[in-house]
Amino acid sequence: MKKNMLRVAAGAAMASMLFSACGSTSAPNAGTSAAQTETQTSSAADASAAKASSEDSSASSASGDKTEITFWHSMGGVNGQALDYLINKFNEENDKNIHVTAEFQGEYDDAINKLKSAQIGNMGADLVQIYDIGTRFMIDSGWVVPMQELIDADGWDVSKLEPNIAAYYTVDNKLYSMPFNSSTPILYYNKDMFDKAGITEIPDSLPAIGKVADKLVKDGGAGEAISLSIYGWFFEQFCCKQGLAYVDNGNGREAAATKVAFDSNGAAVNILKAWKDLYTSGAAPMVGRGGDAGLVDFSSGKSAMTLGSTASLKQVLEDVNGKFEVGTAYFPKVSDSDKGGVSIGGASLWALDNKDDAKKAATWEFVKFLVSPESQAYWNAQTGYFPVTTAAHDEQVFKDNLAKYPQFGTAIDQLHDSTPESAGALLSVFPEARQIVETEIENMLNNDASPEDTASKMAEQINSAISDYNLVNG
Amino acid sequence: MNHSSSRISRIRNVFSATEPYLYLVPSILIFSIFLFWPFFKTIYLSFYKTNKLGQAKLFVGIGNYKELFQSSAFINSLYVTLVFVIIVVSISMLLGLIGAILCNKTFPGIRFFSTAYALPMAIASSSAAMIFRIMLHPSIGIVNKLLHLNINWLADPRYALVLVAILTGWLNSGIDFLYFSAGLASIDETIYERASVDGAGPVRQFVHLTLPGLSPILFYTIVVNIIQAFQSFGQVKILTQGGPGDATNLIVYSIYRDAFFNYRFGSAAAESVILFVIIMCLTLLMF
């Protein structure tokens, strides 16, 4: 009897656990959109409650209908505070009676996934911040008003934008989205270790890093020469540095890509060979995966170099806290003869087509405000992202910031030294491709696989993802 | 009068026959919306390829399943999950059992110890994983500092899976401790007294008295543990993201990645169905 009851209990427990597991994975649309409405309404309520006080003054002075627009973004922490400051400023200062409600939607990946779910119910935002690798997806989605339309309608001068940044988001000669927070990868190095080892020339390529590695460890007192995290973005940048395409159809810019190009043009094998050499010689041990995996080793004074985004500069300087002098240099080439540049990362602003002209106009006003020299100079100083508007360089805030953090100059020079041709690839399944690249690099280093095999494995998996995507979304 | 009273009694009969079902309506309604509907939708989706919005677009029959069983990544994922489950279940049951036996005797400070052993139950897997990640960090982590080693624990395929399993085993041990404590409390104290009078030592007492006494609860704990271990997710997401390579790509994490990262709900749904079948078979086998 007792045993029977236990069985029933076990059975029931199993059933409920199983079903709840299936429930959480099976109907993502229903599930996420329901959850979404909830968070959206609650965060909207919070935001409006918080802003109610500051609004009162501006609302009473202005008359007529207020245009409400919703802005989805992925800026948390310090960056989120800086963005909130700009939004509040816009809400208070704009004379067109526009009110922007900002909603934080989690990381870039979360935000784009929420958008996908929200668009089914047609309850999305007016303006969304989407990461670089979501560009092709957004263009193909048919949900957006190309930024160029708004620009042309207003006669706004596109040449105000940093050309190499605008190039990334320009497809078919149309600027599809407004660049907002852009970064490039750079090489961070520990100046004290380089001085101690007596190295005056900062390595500018992966093989050059390998050459100084021993000296840095032996004489410079480094625990490891470089903490090179396994990050798909770096792989993409190494392609740009070689001036070689990642995917076909003009790097996915002339038309949607149908397959990868890095296997046939040799870009991948070059990268993987250089990477593996650094690993086997001990110069670049495994430090993990993702954008910031290598930063801790650097900040804690263990590694003499690391690769990272310019947007991490502030964080790195804060973490190092004067323990040693931080130097910055150009992102390394794959071989000494490479002539390419770097492309940008970060995110841009997409206007969604909600069939409402008043909102469209209001969205454009807000976008214009965000990329104004003044806003961009503030944004740059607070976050370390590039000012996307060249005129921001004349702002005092920007000059002060550059004087305080001269390391940031490297990033700007590097961007100006690149050409729009190294704008980087567009690919619908980029998030997945990045994962595949990272996994295969890990496999290569751990299992001592050959660079050639690894490259073909990457190509095979990404190609199958591309053809799957084109099959059902074409 | 006679007529109407018989009608009332008939209504009463009908009511008493349907009454129990009426009580079930609310729960059935909730279950249907949140459990059964998604469950059947999962099965439905597993026969389709989905577009970028996750809508069923192209019927492929068992194509998703065929692809899965031909993919070495998925087979690897099954294998990794199996190894993981074995480690987790052994660790959590052992820890729970030892804790429960130690706390079965009354001594000063017993409350502190039983709380300590049951505590993992109250810790969210994600926050525990965050702490583990810092502890295991190769250059600033306390594990390397104490052991004077320089190992990148989570980036090395030899250790990553075992470490995630140890963390999960420890997390799951809290609830096992509770089950075993309840089980031990229900064993009659007097049989131990009689056994010791008969000259049975502690080991014999454990093997011949404690274990048989625990067997019903032991069985239940194994079932629940296996199911729980199969469904571990947060630890993997935070500690390793399935890496290095695919060394910790447990099946639930692989479902998550396929569905919410690659936006291929079809194959994610097929994986969920396979997971469901596996757990169901295992459970039936054990009953």
Burial A37-62 (b: 16+ CB within 10 A, else e): eeebeeeeeebeeebeeebeebeeee
Angle (CA) B205-B211-B213 rounded to 5° is 95
- Is it the case that residue A44 has pLDDT exceeding 60? no
Q: Which residue would you say has higher pLDDT here, A237 or B8?
A: A237
- Is it the case that residue A462 has pLDDT exceeding 90? yes
* CB nearest A446 (choices: B54, B157, B265): B157
Closest CA to A399 of A409, A385, A388: A409
Closest CA to A467 of A253, A247, A232: A247
For the segment A246-255, the average pLDDT, to the nearest whole number, is 90
Mean pLDDT, all residues of chain A? 83
Record: contact B241-A18, CB cut-off 8 A: no
* CB nearest A13 (choices: B34, B224, B256): B224
- Is it the case that residue A398 has pLDDT exceeding 60? yes
For the segment A177-185, the average pLDDT, to the nearest whole number, is 92
Q: What is the pTM of this model?
A: 0.80
Domain boundaries, chain B: 2-64, 71-286
* CB nearest A446 (choices: B140, B220, B245): B245
Instruction: Kindly state the tokens that stand for B285.
Output: 């086998």
List of chain B residues whose C-beta atoms are within 8 Å of the C-beta of residue A36: none
Q: What is the reported pLDDT for A72? A: 94
The lowest-confidence range among A13-27, A365-379, A446-460, B24-38 is A13-27
- Is it the case that residue A268 has pLDDT exceeding 80? yes
For the segment A235-240, the average pLDDT, to the nearest whole number, is 94
Record: contact B38-A14, CB cut-off 8 A: no
- Is it the case that residue A122 has pLDDT exceeding 70? no
- Is it the case that residue A203 has pLDDT exceeding 90? yes
- Is it the case that residue A29 has pLDDT exceeding 50? no
| Separation CA B22–CA A84 (nearest Å) | 52
Q: What is the reported pLDDT for A123? A: 65
| Separation CA A119–CA A102 (nearest Å) | 18
Q: What is the reported pLDDT for B17? A: 84
Q: What is the reported pLDDT for A47? A: 42
| DSSP letter string, A263-308 | TTSSHHHHHHHHHHHHHHTTSS----BSTTTTHHHHHTT-EEEEEE
Sequence-separated (6 or more) residues with CB below 8 Å from residue B15: none
Q: What is the reported pLDDT for A103? A: 92
Q: Which residue would you say has higher pLDDT here, B208 or A264?
A: A264
For residue B180, give the H/E element and its range. helix B157-185
For the segment A1-12, the average pLDDT, to the nearest whole number, is 44
Instruction: Kindly state the tokens that stand for B104.
Output: 């079965």
Record: contact A286-B155, CB cut-off 8 A: yes
Residue spans of chain B under pLDDT 70: 1-4
N-term to C-term CA, chain A: 60
Q: A127-131 and A67-73: which strand pairing?
A: parallel
Sequence-separated (6 or more) residues with CB below 8 Å from residue B188: none
Q: What is the reported pLDDT for A92? A: 92
Q: List the helix and strand counts (H, then E) for chain B.
A: 14, 2
Q: Mutate which of A5, A26, A108, A299 to test chain B, going by most B C-beta atoms within 10 A?
A: A26
For the segment A376-401, the average pLDDT, to the nearest whole number, is 89
Predicted ipTM of the assembly:
0.76
% of chain A exceeding 70 in pLDDT: 85
Using CB atoms within 10 A of its CB, is residue B230 exposed (0-12), middle (13-18) or buried (19+)?
Answer: buried
| Separation CA A269–CA A15 (nearest Å) | 49
| Separation CA A50–CA A45 (nearest Å) | 8
Most confident listed range (A38-42, A215-219, A381-385): A215-219
| Separation CA B208–CA B190 (nearest Å) | 14
Q: What is the reported pLDDT for A474? A: 67
Angle between helices B211-230 and B265-286 in degrees, nearest 10 = 170
pLDDT in tens, A350-362: 999 888 888 899 9
Cβ atoms of A285 and A276 within 8 Å: the answer is no
Q: What is the reported pLDDT for A64? A: 59
Angle between helices A267-280 and A430-447 in degrees, nearest 10 = 40
Per-residue DSSP letter, A450: -
Q: What is the reported pLDDT for A445? A: 92
Q: Tell me whether B44 touches chain A (CB under 8 Å).
A: no
- Is it the case that residue A20 has pLDDT exceeding 70? no
Q: What is the reported pLDDT for A8? A: 43
* CB nearest B231 (choices: A2, A21, A288): A21
- Is it the case that residue A287 has pLDDT exceeding 60? yes
pLDDT in tens, A403-426: 988 888 888 889 888 887 778 889
What does the H/E/C string look like for A34-53?
HHHHHHHHHHHHHHHHHHHH
pLDDT in tens, B6-53: 788 888 888 888 888 889 999 999 999 999 999 999 999 999 988 877
- Looking at the domain that runs over B71-286, which CATH code has it been given? 1.10.3720.10
